[in-house]
Amino acid sequence: MVLIVKILSIAIIVYGCVIVLRPQALKKMFAYFEKDNRLNIGSVCKALFGILFIIAARDCRVSWVIFFFGALAVLGGVVGLIMKRESLIKMIKWWEKRPNRQVSMMGLVVVVMGVLMVLAI
Protein backbone atom coordinates (compact mmCIF):
# COMPACT_ATOMS: atom_id res chain seq x y z
CA MET A 1 0.00 0.00 0.00
CA VAL A 2 2.83 2.37 0.87
CA LEU A 3 4.45 1.64 -2.49
CA ILE A 4 1.31 2.81 -4.30
CA VAL A 5 1.27 6.03 -2.25
CA LYS A 6 4.95 6.56 -3.02
CA ILE A 7 4.32 6.10 -6.75
CA LEU A 8 1.36 8.52 -6.63
CA SER A 9 3.47 11.05 -4.71
CA ILE A 10 6.20 10.88 -7.32
CA ALA A 11 3.56 11.26 -10.04
CA ILE A 12 2.31 14.39 -8.24
CA ILE A 13 5.85 15.80 -8.25
CA VAL A 14 6.20 15.10 -11.98
CA TYR A 15 2.79 16.66 -12.64
CA GLY A 16 3.80 19.77 -10.69
CA CYS A 17 7.07 20.02 -12.63
CA VAL A 18 5.16 19.84 -15.91
CA ILE A 19 2.90 22.69 -14.74
CA VAL A 20 5.90 24.78 -13.68
CA LEU A 21 7.73 24.24 -16.98
CA ARG A 22 4.68 24.28 -19.27
CA PRO A 23 1.71 26.14 -17.76
CA GLN A 24 -0.22 25.62 -21.00
CA ALA A 25 -0.39 21.89 -20.16
CA LEU A 26 -2.71 22.66 -17.23
CA LYS A 27 -4.91 24.78 -19.45
CA LYS A 28 -5.10 21.93 -22.00
CA MET A 29 -6.03 19.54 -19.21
CA PHE A 30 -8.83 21.89 -18.14
CA ALA A 31 -10.14 21.96 -21.72
CA TYR A 32 -10.14 18.14 -21.70
CA PHE A 33 -12.12 17.91 -18.45
CA GLU A 34 -14.75 20.44 -19.53
CA LYS A 35 -16.28 17.93 -21.94
CA ASP A 36 -19.01 15.39 -21.09
CA ASN A 37 -18.84 13.74 -17.66
CA ARG A 38 -15.09 13.96 -17.33
CA LEU A 39 -15.39 16.30 -14.34
CA ASN A 40 -17.31 13.61 -12.46
CA ILE A 41 -14.81 10.93 -13.41
CA GLY A 42 -11.96 13.16 -12.24
CA SER A 43 -13.74 13.86 -8.95
CA VAL A 44 -14.32 10.16 -8.31
CA CYS A 45 -10.65 9.37 -9.06
CA LYS A 46 -9.53 12.16 -6.73
CA ALA A 47 -11.73 10.83 -3.93
CA LEU A 48 -10.49 7.26 -4.48
CA PHE A 49 -6.85 8.37 -4.35
CA GLY A 50 -7.65 10.25 -1.15
CA ILE A 51 -9.17 7.15 0.41
CA LEU A 52 -6.09 5.18 -0.61
CA PHE A 53 -3.88 7.80 1.08
CA ILE A 54 -5.97 7.68 4.26
CA ILE A 55 -5.79 3.87 4.41
CA ALA A 56 -2.03 3.84 3.80
CA ALA A 57 -1.32 6.67 6.26
CA ARG A 58 -1.01 4.34 9.26
CA ASP A 59 1.96 2.57 7.63
CA CYS A 60 3.89 5.79 6.91
CA ARG A 61 6.56 7.47 9.05
CA VAL A 62 4.69 10.75 9.39
CA SER A 63 1.17 9.44 9.06
CA TRP A 64 -0.66 12.72 9.71
CA VAL A 65 0.84 14.32 6.57
CA ILE A 66 -0.41 11.53 4.32
CA PHE A 67 -3.75 11.47 6.16
CA PHE A 68 -4.10 15.25 5.75
CA PHE A 69 -3.47 15.19 1.99
CA GLY A 70 -5.76 12.17 1.66
CA ALA A 71 -8.53 13.96 3.52
CA LEU A 72 -8.08 17.02 1.30
CA ALA A 73 -8.34 14.82 -1.80
CA VAL A 74 -11.50 13.11 -0.53
CA LEU A 75 -13.02 16.47 0.34
CA GLY A 76 -12.11 17.89 -3.07
CA GLY A 77 -13.53 14.87 -4.85
CA VAL A 78 -16.80 15.00 -2.92
CA VAL A 79 -17.15 18.75 -3.46
CA GLY A 80 -16.48 18.22 -7.17
CA LEU A 81 -19.34 15.73 -7.28
CA ILE A 82 -21.75 17.89 -5.28
CA MET A 83 -21.15 21.22 -7.04
CA LYS A 84 -23.11 22.15 -10.11
CA ARG A 85 -21.31 21.61 -13.38
CA GLU A 86 -21.76 25.28 -14.31
CA SER A 87 -19.94 26.39 -11.15
CA LEU A 88 -17.05 24.04 -11.85
CA ILE A 89 -16.81 25.30 -15.43
CA LYS A 90 -16.71 28.89 -14.12
CA MET A 91 -13.78 27.98 -11.85
CA ILE A 92 -11.99 26.30 -14.75
CA LYS A 93 -12.52 29.36 -16.95
CA TRP A 94 -11.14 31.55 -14.15
CA TRP A 95 -7.97 29.42 -13.99
CA GLU A 96 -7.62 29.46 -17.76
CA LYS A 97 -7.50 33.27 -17.66
CA ARG A 98 -4.65 33.36 -15.12
CA PRO A 99 -1.26 34.43 -16.45
CA ASN A 100 1.26 31.66 -17.08
CA ARG A 101 3.45 32.89 -14.22
CA GLN A 102 0.62 32.45 -11.72
CA VAL A 103 -0.14 28.97 -13.05
CA SER A 104 3.55 28.10 -12.72
CA MET A 105 3.51 29.19 -9.09
CA MET A 106 0.60 26.83 -8.44
CA GLY A 107 2.67 24.10 -10.05
CA LEU A 108 5.41 24.89 -7.56
CA VAL A 109 2.91 24.42 -4.72
CA VAL A 110 2.02 21.00 -6.18
CA VAL A 111 5.72 20.05 -6.29
CA VAL A 112 6.16 21.04 -2.63
CA MET A 113 3.11 18.97 -1.65
CA GLY A 114 4.48 15.96 -3.51
CA VAL A 115 7.89 16.32 -1.87
CA LEU A 116 6.26 16.56 1.57
CA MET A 117 4.36 13.35 0.86
CA VAL A 118 7.47 11.49 -0.33
CA LEU A 119 9.37 12.59 2.78
CA ALA A 120 6.49 11.48 5.01
CA ILE A 121 6.36 7.94 3.60
What is the tens place of the pLDDT at every residue in 92-108? 889 888 898 998 999 99
Sign of the Cα torsion 26, 27, 31, 37 reads positive
Tell whether the model's pLDDT for residue 32 goes beyond 90.
no
Q: Is the pTM of this model over 0.75?
A: yes
Predicted pLDDT at 36: 78
d(CA 57, CA 100): 34
Helices (H), the chain: 2-21, 23-33, 38-56, 63-82, 85-96, 100-120
Domains in the chain: how many in total?
Answer: 1
**Domain of residue 90, residue span:** 2-120
- Please report which confidence band the pLDDT of residue 5 belongs to, taking 50, 70 and 90 as the band edges: confident
